[in-house]
């Protein structure tokens, strides 16, 4: 495991703990109903129980957990471009592991942002949130995936 991946794992765990604690706190202390869905402009268009925050924390944990499980797939069962040489396999594996670690952090940050904005809107009785942070995280997920794919093709060209 690379130093980058270890740091990303620590950050992911920290963010997951914050997501769970915020969700529990919001469920206990927020009066219902709370905004639980927003349109593309950030306007609340669905309201529900504060327990919805626990659902978001659960979904976040499941998605991040799935990314950790994907890391357990043996390298022999992975498909990546180029010939399978010992050097290439090791480099491709590191690329995949670092991409997964990056996306775990970004996804956890996305859920943290969503939960924080829902709580903010609930506490301050707002009917609208700021939508650009969510869009930024979605763009970051796509950008990191594209960078990972480009690295995979670059590594396959190095022989």
CB atoms within 10 A of CB 158: 10
CA–CA dist 141, 139 (Å, integer): 5
Domain housing 63: 3-157
Q: What confidence tens digit (pLDDT) does each residue in 102-137 have?
A: 999 999 999 999 999 999 999 998 888 888 888 899
Q: How far apart are CA 53 and CA 27, in angstroms?
A: 7
Name the domain count of the chain.
1
Closest CA to 22 of 60, 64, 63, 65: 60
Q: Is the pLDDT score of 159 beyond 70? A: no
Query: pLDDT tens across 28-77, in order?
Result: 999 889 999 998 888 999 999 999 999 999 999 999 999 999 999 998 88
Rounded CA separation 116/58 (Å): 15
Q: Angle at which helices 86-123 and 132-157 pack, to 10 degrees?
A: 180
Q: Residue 13 corresponds to which tokens in the numbers above?
A: 């765990």
């Amino acid at each position: 495991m690379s130093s980058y991946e270890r740091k990303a794992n620590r950050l992911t765990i920290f963010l997951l703990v914050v997501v769970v604690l915020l969700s529990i706190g919001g469920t206990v202390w927020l009066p219902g109903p709370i905004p639980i869905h927003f349109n593309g402009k950030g306007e609340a268009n669905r309201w529900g129980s504060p327990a919805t925050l626990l659902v978001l924390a659960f979904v976040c944990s499941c998605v991040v957990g799935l990314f950790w499980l994907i890391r357990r797939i043996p390298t022999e069962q992975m498909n990546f471009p180029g010939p399978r040489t010992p050097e290439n396999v090791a480099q491709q594996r590191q690329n995949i592991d670092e991409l997964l670690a990056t996306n775990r952090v970004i996804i956890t940050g996305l859920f943290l942002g969503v939960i924080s904005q829902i709580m903010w809107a609930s506490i301050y009785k707002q009917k609208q949130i700021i939508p650009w942070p969510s869009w930024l995280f979605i763009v970051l997920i796509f950008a990191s995936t594209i960078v990972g794919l480009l690295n995979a093709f670059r590594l396959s060209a190095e022989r």
